[in-house]
Structure 1
Amino acid sequence: MIKSLEPYECVVVIADPLYNEVFAKSWYTRFGTEISFIMIYVEESEDLLSPYSHTQESLLTAKKVGCQLYITLVANGIQVARLLRFGDRFRILNSLAKYIFLYDDRLFEEKLFYLWRKIINVVFIRRFEGKSTANGKKRSPWFELSTVPFPSQIHRVLVPKRLDIWTHSKFRKDTDLFRDKTLDLNNQTVKVVAFPHLPGTAKISSTSTARAFLSLKENAPACFSGTEIEIIQTVAKAMNFRCEIYEPENADVELWGRKMVGGIYTGIIGEMVNARADIALGDLYYTPYLLELMDLSVPYNTECLTFLTPESLTDNSWKTLVLPFKPIMWAAVLICLMLCTLAFYFLARFHVHMTTMTNKRVKNKNRIHPDPVEELRGKKKKVVTLSLFPEVEKLDPNVKYTLMKEQYQPPRDKDEPVGLYQFSQPVNSTLYTYSMLLLVSLPKLPSGWSLRMLTGWYWLYCLLLVTSYRASMTAILAKPTPRVRIDTLDELVASKLTYGGWGDLTREFFTSSDDATLKMISENFVMVNDSDEAVDQVADASFAFYENTYFLKEALVKRQLRFQSLSKRNFTSNQTEEAKNLAKQDRSLHIMNDCIINMPISIGLQKNSPMKPRFDKFIRMVMEAGLIKKWLDDVMQNVLNAEVQTDNEHEIKAIMNMKKFSGGLVALGIGYFISIVTLLVEIIYFNSVVKKNPSFNKYSKTVQNNKKSK
């Protein structure tokens, strides 16, 4: 027995007052300093289902440092049973360690059977008194060493399996007391609980929709398929066990399961908590919530969890005119327009000032030496300027009016040079600069070389900008109608949709998150039990469905196939058209591009399951061989094929229509609105200001007659 302690580095010793004397100081000194011991003294009155604080701290320390052997010499079997129950419930005992207990029939009661399916590296020591010889001399006692019959199933009675006999300070068979019992499970039956959840598991039935979707035969039996089914079958061959897969009650409603009043769980979680199943399948998330209830294998895959959202909540065709450029590009265009307007205006004013100064100098020079011919012509020529308002009455026929050429030119200052009028005023500078941006030519080239140079480079800028805009606009109109999509969490929250998902497991992620956006989603999170109904609500633009991308892709295809089957039935023409319209509604569904989280996916095992180390080992081997990706592709192949077929049937063509052209109509409507408002302002200004001017219509007959009478 002493030699068997040599491989261990840390040993936990638990003893009561009766056996405490066994572990004297001399007993520890036999092993030197190579082995560390943690001694736990248990009083006879201590309830080990709720141990004292020092006992709990010692057990936690032993688990933390990784002690490999627990020697428990406690005479009261009830105390030992309660300690094991406490350790299993709160994971305070390392089930993979090795245990030595005193044999006690109370440890083999039926209510403790679930413990011996987890703690399998155990040895029970049973003491037998030696019989008296013929000489009346009593023989020395001997010890029977036994263990639980793993992997054999425990039914109504647990009969320990004898390992060896210890007598005369030696073993009779020298058997390995703690051999690895998970190397070969001897073709034992392992119960596996599962419910359909793509891509881990998929329930194959003989319904018409499933046959069309999965290409099944007419009389195909109901069973499960999927990535996790392939994994469990591979591990079963390696560990030599058979799988009995079953579906829990109300799996379509309970799904993974939820906690009821009294601490009772439903679904596959309830099956695992109540130890009715050994393995759980169904895309189990590697989360603290599940780790408290069961063991999880090493993650074999990561799935993108996101929302299925309506693809178009509003139509953005009216924004066609602004879609070719991004907002930052439009901002740059506006800034350039304002800067060029100011540049044209200030350069024009500079040239006006310089020309005016030059003209004044010339006039002052001409006043000293006037031209007699020009004076004579000026005296003979009578010029009358027409009224600028259409309301001017008929002019006096006795007066001869000569229309000067200058009357047809836009108003400008007397000394202003020709060609600068379009930029010398702020309003005109803005209008003509904007018109050049629309490739409208100027009525006359400006005078002044600085303005001409700026105009030439500005025209080159306008050509490049307009060409880019036209090319982008052509590409937008050549595409199908643009659709508004929700691709980020911020857009989802701003959409004011209702969010929802399957089971408490999904909502627990949002409620336990510290992110402010996820907290907002958790406040409006709704539980759903029917994926088809949830997808229909998403199509109604009132709901966002939370799941992994594989499951959402399958839900979309199932919806398409469901409505396709409706359209193929012998309905009336109106009903058939309605069914076709319904079949197209799934086009308005979109899977968000941003993942809420890339969740690790595992296979569930019983809490403190002894199979976990070897289970993880074989899953890693399967992952390294690349079989996980191959099985995922096989599961999703039918979904992808069905989706491609549906896309071909309902191909969207890029045809120009009024919906696409609504952007132009919006621009035209804005122009009409501004024009009408401007016209109304002009009319009001004319009636309230211009007409009240004393000089208004001074050439009318009434004014002329009044002058003559005077």
Structure 2
Amino acid sequence: MFGQKIFIGFLIFDIFGKISAILHKINGAFDENEALHKEFDHRTMHDDIRSLVGNILFKIQSTSCIGLITDSIYQKEVYMHQFIQSIDGRMLLIMSIKDSEAFDEKPTKKMESMLVSMKARNCKFYMILVTNGIQMVNFLRYSDSKRLLNTEANFIMLHDYRLFVPDLHYIWKRIVNVIFIRKCDVKHSNWYELSTVPFPASINEVYVSRIVNYWTMNHYRWKKTLFNDKAHQSLNGVVLNVAILPHTPSVFRHLGSDNRTVKYSGVEIGLVNTLSKIMKFSINFYEPQDAETEKWGHRTEYGNFTGLLGEMDTARADIALGNLHYTIYHLDVMDLSLPYNTECLTFLTPESLTDNSWHTLILPFSLGMWTGVLVSLFCVGMVFFLFSNIYYFFTTKNKPSVQTKPVKPKSLIIRDLFDDLSTCILYTYSMLLVVSLPKLPVRWAVRVLTGWWLLYCVLVVVAYRASLTAILANPQPRVTIDTLEGLAESSLKCGAWGEESKSFFTLSPDQVSQKIGTKLEHVDDTDEAIRRVVEDNFAFFENRYTLHQLRFQHDQKHHETKQNLHIMEQCVINIPVSLGFDKNSPFKSRMDKYIRWAVEGGLVSKWLMDAMKTFESSVDAPPQEALMDLKKFYSALIALGVGYFMSSVVLIFEILHWKFVVERHPHYDKYYKRIVFPTILESTPAKITYLS
């Protein structure tokens, strides 16, 4: 009962908490709506804005598409004759924002599709005439998060102090070609101030605009160009924050000559240094605070990111270096440059050498070959026996039985080498081992057969010796996994960094990849992953360059161990690699051009060769060939041991036969062991047997 009361109490407390949260949200919504209504009531339209905007549009003739975003205050103004005349036949896309649109939730599909259409038609000029500052802030945040605006275009906006709060400073690092229109104070009431963001200078805690010009009485005060392509100009030494994550072959971390300062090298470091020299900006390299544990980072339950992705998601970094793959997952957080390289992603698997030394003697022939040799051995022995006895039968069956001399027992009559079946098997076996016969057979048919059998034996022996020599000279075959099918069928567990890798396998239409995805684990520590690979129960997924480095480091630390690491030959996927830029970065198109030049000029290939030069010895090299050792001779020792064992068994059997059969025979005489005596059942004719 007491437990039930506690549970009911917690349930009531939770319900009241949810109700209070809902009421707080409703009150907040009412407060926000009240603020919006006050903002709507105080909106005013400037009379001379129409002529000023028309003059700006008339001077800008380089664009063929103009995107106009307006509200109910300026909606009618865009249809005035003077404004339409300033368009001068260019494409004009107009989007009207409702007064009730707050952009805190998903806007209407019509509005989103209109913004997408403006960007798809490559509109190089946006004119945003929205008098509500709160609505304007929400619109900029929404369009930036969804990448609905072409940030490389030129913008005209109405000046509002709420656009320059610290929480919105990241927008003006992305939209740099912008003109803000503001009506001056009472003293110069007929003047309009045209200002812009202080790019390329960085915006500190306080935003300070840069005056471009003034407009009054249908003319400008100074003869200046309103829009300069700031992203394609020299950056004048502005400092760009570059977040880096050491990862092969993009970034390497090492100590300087004083063993205190940290320096970086690698392919992406070379690219950024080249871009800084061309575009004349300074670099502030830094590693995220949680780079050691989070590395690239992941999305938390609150929707934000950790690690390197967190630096780009919060706009703290302008450029990200860390072997970023060109994937949708990364594109949701940042912009990616033109791919500078394509990497092979595969698995690092354990490798073992097959210890087949104990059966080296049977390796030269396959199972079918051995079966054929043994069957031919038995069959040829039978043929020798038949040839010899058939000839004897036909030559002796019609002779008269006249005996002028004492007749020897039949078992003591030695006619030819191949008259006895056991002797035939023994002699054919000896010829196969290249042991000569004691003498040639008497009968010519058996002689001819002996010659052809010797020719067959020579061919078999030559083939066996050649194959055995090749086996002894070659290294031991390695047991490796080189295909996805082999990895999926093996008992090895798989590991990779991040849930993105697991999703890649589990969402693949290939059943083999899905099977690997079911046993793929998230790996935080590469050292732990290598340890598990060495223990012969794990496979690690990474790019081939990183796997070469890990294998090289393992060989350097544990060169005395016999466990080898193998990089799977089949590439799971060849994926492009890019630099990471701040979302909607104005530098992207310019930097892409220089990156393309670096790739075409061979600089990236040169930096990649320099980065991997240290790990060139980490290749799949076979062991030393043509080296005969005792391990390869195990098969001969095993054969000798088998011979010892079988001979011992036969010796014991002969001793037992002598003790329990020969010595108990009634004709046995221990004083005349070498005398011939009958040793067969009394019901059969007597047969003479030699005693050894």
Does the 8 A contact of 1:340 with 1:433 survive in 2? no
* Alignment partner of 1:247 is 2:287: yes
Matches within 5 A, 1:40-55: 40-49=95-104, 50-55=106-111
Alignment CA distance shift 1:27-1:432 (3 Å): farther
User: 1:162 — aligned with what?
Assistant: 211
CA distance in 2 between partners of 1:465 and 1:224 (Å) = 60
Alignment CA distance shift 1:482-1:42 (3 Å): same
Alignment gaps of 5+ in structure 2 = 1-55, 655-676, 687-692
Within the candidate set 237, 249, 267, 1:227 is matched to 267
Does the 8 A contact of 1:300 with 1:600 survive in 2? yes
User: 2:241 — aligned with what?
Assistant: 191
CA shift for structure 1 position 3: 2.7
User: 2:464 — aligned with what?
Assistant: 466
Q: What one-letter code is carried by the residue in structure 2 that aligns with 1:17?
A: S
Alignment CA distance shift 1:273-1:558 (3 Å): same
Within the candidate set 542, 550, 564, 2:537 is matched to 542
* Alignment partner of 1:524 is 2:549: no
* Alignment partner of 1:292 is 2:332: yes
User: 1:124 — aligned with what?
Assistant: 180
CA shift for structure 1 position 230: 2.0
Alignment CA distance shift 1:231-1:340 (3 Å): same
Alignment CA distance shift 1:630-1:78 (3 Å): same
SS of equivalent residue, structure 1 residue 593: coil
Alignment CA distance shift 1:586-1:525 (3 Å): farther
Alignment gaps of 5+ in structure 1 = 133-138, 206-215, 368-373, 387-402, 413-420, 423-427, 564-581, 683-697
Matches within 5 A, 1:130-529: 141-182=190-231, 183-205=233-255, 217=257, 219-312=259-352, 315-318=355-358, 320-321=360-361, 330=366, 333=369, 374-375=399-400, 377=402, 382=407, 384-386=409-411, 403-406=412-415, 409-411=418-420, 447=445, 458=456, 461-462=459-460, 465-476=463-474, 479=475, 482-529=477-524
Does the 8 A contact of 1:193 with 1:277 survive in 2? yes
Alignment CA distance shift 1:299-1:405 (3 Å): same
Alignment CA distance shift 1:706-1:459 (3 Å): closer
Q: Please identify, of 593-602 and 235-244, the stretch whose mean Cα deviation from structure 2 is larger.
A: 593-602
Cα deviation, 1:548-584, whole Å, max 9, x if unaligned, reads 33333333444455x4xxxxxxxxxxxxxxxxxx541
- Cα RMSD of the aligned pairs, angstroms, is 4.6
Matches within 5 A, 1:663-678: 663-664=635-636
Q: Please identify, of 486-495 and 288-297, the stretch whose mean Cα deviation from structure 2 is larger.
A: 486-495
Alignment CA distance shift 1:245-1:218 (3 Å): closer
CA shift for structure 1 position 146: 2.1
Cα deviation, 1:501-542, whole Å, max 9, x if unaligned, reads 334454444344333333233222233333333323322323
CA distance in 2 between partners of 1:10 and 1:187 (Å) = 34
Q: Please identify, of 594-603 and 439-448, the stretch whose mean Cα deviation from structure 2 is larger.
A: 439-448
Does the 8 A contact of 1:252 with 1:530 survive in 2? no
Between the aligned residues of both structures, percent identity stands at 37
CA distance in 1 between partners of 2:102 and 2:484 (Å) = 51
User: 2:682 — aligned with what?
Assistant: 703
Alignment CA distance shift 1:380-1:594 (3 Å): same
Cα deviation, 1:99-147, whole Å, max 9, x if unaligned, reads 2222222222221111111111222223458979xxxxxx9x4443322
Does the 8 A contact of 1:279 with 1:605 survive in 2? yes
CA shift for structure 1 position 191: 0.8
CA distance in 2 between partners of 1:451 and 1:69 (Å) = 101
Does the 8 A contact of 2:361 with 2:468 survive in 1? no
SS of equivalent residue, structure 2 residue 545: helix
CA shift for structure 1 position 82: 1.4
User: 1:627 — aligned with what?
Assistant: 603
User: 1:612 — aligned with what?
Assistant: 588
CA shift for structure 1 position 38: 2.3
Cα deviation, 1:412-445, whole Å, max 9, x if unaligned, reads 8xxxxxxxx97xxxxx7xx999987766778979
CA distance in 1 between partners of 2:453 and 2:88 (Å) = 94
Q: Please identify, of 451-460 and 615-624, the stretch whose mean Cα deviation from structure 2 is larger.
A: 451-460
CA distance in 2 between partners of 1:700 and 1:338 (Å) = 34
CA distance in 1 between partners of 2:427 and 2:203 (Å) = 95
Matches within 5 A, 1:653-692: 656-664=628-636
User: 2:69 — aligned with what?
Assistant: 14
Q: What one-letter code is carried by the residue in structure 2 that aligns with 1:154?
A: I
Give the TM-score taking structure 2 as reference length: 0.74
Q: What one-letter code is carried by the residue in structure 2 that aligns with 1:517?
A: V
CA distance in 2 between partners of 1:84 and 1:627 (Å) = 39
Alignment CA distance shift 1:51-1:624 (3 Å): same
Alignment CA distance shift 1:702-1:38 (3 Å): closer
Q: What one-letter code is carried by the residue in structure 1 that aligns with 2:252?
A: A
Give the TM-score taking structure 1 as reference length: 0.72
Cα deviation, 1:78-104, whole Å, max 9, x if unaligned, reads 222212211221222222233222222
Does the 8 A contact of 2:353 with 2:477 survive in 1? no
Does the 8 A contact of 2:321 with 2:580 survive in 1? yes
Does the 8 A contact of 1:254 with 1:503 survive in 2? no
Q: What one-letter code is carried by the residue in structure 2 that aligns with 1:57?
A: S
SS of equivalent residue, structure 1 residue 306: strand
Does the 8 A contact of 1:46 with 1:52 survive in 2? no
Higher RCO structure (Cα 8 Å, ≥6 apart) = 1
Alignment CA distance shift 1:556-1:375 (3 Å): closer
User: 1:82 — aligned with what?
Assistant: 138
Alignment CA distance shift 1:520-1:662 (3 Å): farther
CA shift for structure 1 position 616: 1.3
Alignment CA distance shift 1:673-1:72 (3 Å): farther
Does the 8 A contact of 1:100 with 1:124 survive in 2? yes
Alignment CA distance shift 1:410-1:98 (3 Å): farther
* Alignment partner of 1:57 is 2:36: no
CA distance in 2 between partners of 1:701 and 1:664 (Å) = 41
CA distance in 2 between partners of 1:517 and 1:454 (Å) = 54
Alignment CA distance shift 1:462-1:12 (3 Å): same
CA distance in 2 between partners of 1:65 and 1:518 (Å) = 39
CA shift for structure 1 position 27: 6.4
CA distance in 2 between partners of 1:179 and 1:464 (Å) = 86
Alignment CA distance shift 1:258-1:381 (3 Å): same
Q: What one-letter code is carried by the residue in structure 2 that aligns with 1:473?
A: I
Does the 8 A contact of 1:559 with 1:586 survive in 2? no
CA distance in 1 between partners of 2:455 and 2:627 (Å) = 38
SS of equivalent residue, structure 2 residue 321: strand
Does the 8 A contact of 2:65 with 2:92 survive in 1? yes
Alignment CA distance shift 1:706-1:26 (3 Å): closer
Alignment CA distance shift 1:252-1:699 (3 Å): same
SS of equivalent residue, structure 1 residue 153: coil
Within the candidate set 613, 623, 634, 1:637 is matched to 613
Cα deviation, 1:254-292, whole Å, max 9, x if unaligned, reads 111122221121111111111111111121122221111
Q: Please identify, of 284-293 and 88-97, the stretch whose mean Cα deviation from structure 2 is larger.
A: 88-97
User: 2:673 — aligned with what?
Assistant: none
Q: What one-letter code is carried by the residue in structure 1 that aligns with 2:467?
A: Y
SS of equivalent residue, structure 1 residue 633: helix
